[in-house]
Structures are given as structure tokens and as C-alpha cells.
Amino acid sequence: MKSGVAVVFWLAVATACYPWIVYPLLLAVRARRRPPVAAAPASWPFLSVIVAAYNEAAWIGAKLASALEDDYPRDRIEVIVVSDESSDGTDRLVAEHGDPRVTLVRQEPRAGKSLALNRGVSRARGEILVFTDANALFARGSLRRLAAPFADERVGLVSGHGLYTASPKSPSPGDDDHDAQAVANGYVRFEAFLRSREAALGVLAGADGAIYALRRSLYRDLGAAEVNDLAHAIECAVAGRTARFDPGAYTIEPPSAHAGQEFRRHVRIVAQNAQLLQDWLPRIVGARRWRLAWALLSHRVLRWLTAPSLTLALGANVVLLGSHPVYAFTLAGQGAFYALALAGLLAERAGWRLGRAALPYYFCVVSAAGLAGLARYLRGGAQAVWAPTGQLARDHRVRERAA
């Protein structure tokens, strides 16, 4: 009886550890050579920067400035802002910007980010499409770093990554946001490591939605609930093109204000990604893109199973207690980890600094969101219409008060 429970315990531990520990180690061994940084091309390609925006009046001015005032050649760039029926003055700010390189497209009725991107691309003139978020400000030189690798015709997609700071307009983080910011940037560095090694294999298990570029010839219209950064990374691989990652191409944006916002964001993303992978699986297998399949399984799918795996490991560990000394140590380790996570929850509720409890707490939040996202996917609840994180939080509070 207990031997069977032991098998369950160790399988659950292996499933939980693989995407966070084993997969990164395998990538480090398998993909030691990273692609070189691309040199400046003889002629810079024309870039179309596409921004889907819903009620981003607080950010849209700074966003336009970060794109248009970058050191990319002025006559080789345009910015297209697609307003998804914004009602806060976003449209007016874009329309009154005054730079002829800026185009406003209004989407009515509100239909979501993916359809907004389709509208933006239909108006784009660039051979390279840059997709980015309205509240993610480009670091200087990022557009050049995104564009340079496309001089190689084999390259279909180049991803940068988004960093977090309490105030992108004033990069000094405030004390109140320190814990969330530190955890978010730690997660970004982990993702950057994975993407850099995946790119050495020529694939990415998803671009960073805050900043990535796609060759125009690879773009196809997105479905209403498709996640563009994952869909385009898969499209690139299935088409036989190479994906690149450049950590020097980055944006800066504010972190989530609290774990509840992060939880809701991850639930939405997981539900959409799971639906997309289901739709794309036949094409991935048909094209025999096995490296991509391995990356998607390891980087995405198995992460979503972290919470049920950890729950199963904890239950099996309790049953095994006393059968071997090792299980006392493993149970004590799990107990300490979850105690820290609970301390993080209580500290956040009380408005205190999370300190060392931040990482266990946010890890549990993200893991639980993976399970909730899978549950939403199984219920057919992939969400097409989105809102900025702060707007989602306000809408949630309104619904709670109404209930």
C-alpha cells in the first residue's frame, strides 16, 4: 500500500519540479551556445509599432514618446494605436499628438485585443511588425535591437522582455512596491534565461507580449481569444523560421499592485493559452516541430499542473510519515514553505512588507492561477476582451459590492 503511495509522491514531486528546475538545467546543457547579437544592417527595415489600448490615457503619451523618440531612423517607423472603444480620453490624446507617424484606429464595438491587433496590422505599412503594451515604455535602443536580426531571412520573430518598476516615468522604486517588483523582476530574469536558451534551439515557447517583433509575411489574422505572443511564436516555428531573443530589447512597466491582480491576469492567460495549444497541436505535430513541442510542454503545460502536483505530494507525504525518515524532512520542508506563503498572504492583507515570504507567496499564487486557468479553459471560458490590470481590479471590486 505505502509503496504505491511513495510512487505517487515522487511522481508528483518530479512533475512539480520539472518545469522549474529540471527543464532549465536541461536547456543550460542542451543549448549552451546562444545566438550572437545581430549587427546593424546596411538598411533598417520599416517598423510598424502596433499598440492595442483600452482606457490607457495615463500611459499613451509616454508610450508614443518612448517609440518615436528612440534612436530608430525617423523615416522608418510608424505607430498605430488601436483604441478598443476607450472612454477615458485615450483617443483624443492620440489624435492630438501631432506627429504624422502616429495613426489612431478606433474599434467599435469593443471586441478585445486580438481583433484590435488585426485592425492595426491591416493599416500597417511596415515589413516588420512590433507588438507592445500601452503601459510598457521602450528602453532606448530597443527598437534597433529588435529589428537588426531580421537582416537574416531565416529569422521570423525576435522577442525582448518586460521589466518592472514602481514608476516607469521615475525609475526609483517606492518602498510600497518593493516586494512585488523584486518578485516580478526575479520571474522576468528566470524567463529571460529560458528564452535565451530556447532561442539557441531556434524556438520560443511564447514571445514576451510587452515587446516583440514579427516578420509581416508570417502574420495571419488572430481569433478573438487567441493570445498573440504565443500564437506568433508557434506560427514562426511551424513556418520553419527561427525565433530570437535579445535581453537588451526591453520595456519598463509597473508591477501588479497585489497578488489578486497577478492571479486574475494569470488565470486569463492560462485559459487562453490552453485553448490556443489545443487548436495548434495538429499543425505542430504535422510539421514535426518537436523542439517546439518539448518547449511548450515544459515551459507552459507542466507549469499549469504545479498546484495539483504539489497538493498530491503533500497528501501522499502525510500518509508516508513514519515509513522512512526522509518523509519527515520532506514534510517539514513543505510545511515551512507553505507557512511562509501564508505569512505572505497575511502580511499583504495587513499592508505590511512581505520580506522573505514574498517568493513562496507569489509562487503559490501563480501555481493556483495555473489550475484555475485550466479549469476556466475546460469550462470554455477563454476571455477575448481584456482591460488594463488596474481596470480589472476596479471592475472586480464593483462586482463584489454589487453582490
Q: What is the DSSP string of 268-299?
A: HHHHHHHHHHHHHHHHHHHTT-HHHHHHHIII
Model pLDDT for residues 323-356, shown as the tens digit of each residue = 999 999 999 999 999 999 999 888 888 877 777 6
Helices and strands in the chain, H and E counts: 15, 8
Residue 365 in grid coordinates:
499564487
Q: What is the DSSP string of 185-241?
A: HHHHHHHHHHHHHHHHTT--S---TTEEEEEGGG--PPPTT--HHHHHHHHHHHTT-
Is the pLDDT assigned to residue 177 strictly greater than 80?
Answer: no
Beta strands 211-215; 102-106: pairing state: unpaired
Distance CA(294)–CA(19), nearest Å, equals 11
What pLDDT was estimated at residue 212? 98
Distance CA(151)–CA(398), nearest Å, equals 50
Question: What's the fold here for domain 47-255?
Answer: Spore Coat Polysaccharide Biosynthesis Protein SpsA; Chain A (3.90.550)
Over residues 99-123, mean pLDDT:
95
Is the pLDDT assigned to residue 400 strictly greater than 60?
Answer: no
Is the pLDDT assigned to residue 388 strictly greater than 90?
Answer: no
117: closest CA among 61, 186, 49?
Answer: 49
- Mean pLDDT estimate for the chain: 88
Secondary structure letter of residue 149 according to DSSP: G
Q: How confident is the model at residue 261 (pLDDT cuts 50, 70, 90)?
A: confident
**Ordered strands of the 155-164 beta sheet:** 102-106, 77-83, 47-53, 128-133, 211-215, 155-164, 242-253, 137-138
Residue pair 44/32 in contact (Cβ under 8 Å)? The answer is: no
- 98 burial class (0-12, 13-18, 19+ CB within 10 angstroms)? exposed
89 CB contacts (<8 Å, ≥6 apart)?
57
Which range has the worst mean pLDDT, 3-17, 96-110, 234-248, 250-264? 250-264
CA angle 182, 184, 190 (to 5 degrees): 100
Q: How confident is the model at residue 399 (pLDDT cuts 50, 70, 90)?
A: very low
What pLDDT was estimated at residue 183? 73
What pLDDT was estimated at residue 395? 43
Q: How confident is the model at residue 1 (pLDDT cuts 50, 70, 90)?
A: low
Model pLDDT for residues 289-328, shown as the tens digit of each residue = 999 999 999 999 999 999 999 999 999 999 999 899 999 9
* Domain ranges across the chain: 47-255
What pLDDT was estimated at residue 394? 43
